[in-house]
Structure 1
């Protein structure tokens, strides 16, 4: 059984840490759409109250129209806050479930006390986006959309980049400090540099920065089938809080 107050708080800080371009509410269903980036987190319906299940069919039709206007497929992000009657509706209609993600948290008090701030975050969004695309092997066409997302993050943000003088960027991550919490996003290590401890190093660098800023706990969202990333976070003291997945109508 999930701790719903904790889930609600992590959902709220998650939305602030990775802001969508368009945000519309239908009751307590949050519709997030972003024309400039295909991320499902930025293009999904997010129900936030298990008791809000009125007019399910009509509301999904309205959401589908909004998504079609953005050229996006209709997706519902199913979390512990999703109304059971909406889940039953999707099950009966044969909606496909995909993309399981684990939300994890860690207590920053477990970080070594004698370690100082050995890496400072960058303030250059363009440089970070270029590094992120290189490290992840992403399509360079995503640069404008990713730049817009990062510039729209309102809580204090640290952009961490590790580089090699000959190779260029080797690892990167974003730390979003929001009151006593810090979210770790977009952590990646270049394929040629994996297995050398860079993921652990850049994670701890960002967590130390956030701890000095006053954060007490860290959270992360990681795909359930990414065994290497889950192992990295578990070694750093992260523990599972809840999971979510995406649901969409079956292709006709």
Structure 2
């Protein structure tokens, strides 16, 4: 896809030529792959809230129709109140589906821009993964969550919330964990198989073993499992600043489908995870 940077108010955003039908489908499977505790619709705005976990994807307003821009200020105020009731600050996830009028409103009000991410996809039909699988998924969700938190150096107190999120995933999921006898968990990946699509989630490599081929091995294992389960295409989300991960994915054949970012009212903090 061709992206052009532009200045919108004081904040950089992006415009792109994208297939909105593909965006809608990937957004839908993304919500199923990473379910929020509370879901509320205001028109076509999907409001997702999860009090126990700081993930921005689980705590954001997600506009899903570019033509739904009525009463923007009033609806954002109502959303802000809903977020406050959950102990959260209002956050909007801006994708190609966000109405231009809403983007203009946020620009005019001085909303901050942060958390730029890319959505990448790969056609699995073009890859030969063989007939077998070299690494089986584990069944212990808590063990996986412990490893993910340890590798990511995250707050151990978020363990139960992560267990709850993974346990709430409806589509078939594969939990992959690589370990070393001396340093413990080295890599994790959560693969969510949803009809002909497979999402690669929670992909993380421990700092001491990066650039040693483990990331490539884990990605290959994840994609092989997804293909053997019947998935035709894999997708994932990655922060735009994570150059090492993007390089790994592009070498595997992933290509950009679209981008998104987060917005918050001026003066509001945004320390949530991705």
Q: CA deviation at 1:164?
A: 1.0
The alignment status of 1:110 with 2:126, answered yes or no, reads: yes
Choose from 106, 110, 113 the match for 1:94: 110
User: Which of 56, 68, 89 in structure 2 is aligned with 1:40?
Assistant: 56
Instruction: Summarize deviations over 1:91-135 as a string: whole Å, max 9, x none.
Output: 111111111000000011232343620000011101100111111
Classify the secondary structure of the residue corresponding to 1:41. coil
Per-residue CA deviations over 1:28-75 (Å, capped at 9, x if unaligned) read 000000001000000000000000001111100000000011111101
Hey, what does 1:194 align to over in structure 2? 210
Q: Normalized against structure 1, the TM-score is what?
A: 0.98
Q: Give CA-to-partner distance per residue, 1:4-28, whole Å, 9 cap, x none.
A: 0000000000000000000000000
**1:188, distance to aligned residue in structure 2 (A):** 0.6
Q: Is residue 161 of structure 2 the alignment partner of residue 145 of structure 1?
A: yes
Q: State the superposition RMSD in angstroms.
A: 0.9
| Equivalent in 118, 134, 137 of residue 150 of structure 2 | 134
Contact 2:120 2:255 in 1 (8 A): yes
* 8 Å contact kept, 2:129–2:224: no
- The whole-number CA distance in structure 2 between the counterparts of 1:63 and 1:56 is 10
Q: What stretches of structure 2 of length at least 5 have no aligned partner?
A: 1-16, 269-274
Q: Does 1:167 align with 2:183?
A: yes
Query: Number of residues paired by the alignment?
Result: 252
Give 1:184's match in structure 2, choosing from 200, 205, 212.
200
Structure-to-structure mapping, 1:172-251, within 5 angstroms: 172-251=188-267
> TM-score w.r.t. structure 2 length?
0.90
1:185-234 alpha-carbon deviations (Å, 9 max, x no partner): 11111111111111111111011011000001000000001000000100
Mind listing any 5+ residue stretches in structure 1 that lack a counterpart? none
The question of 1:12 aligning with 2:23 is answered no
Q: Judging by fraction of residues, say which structure has more helix.
A: 1
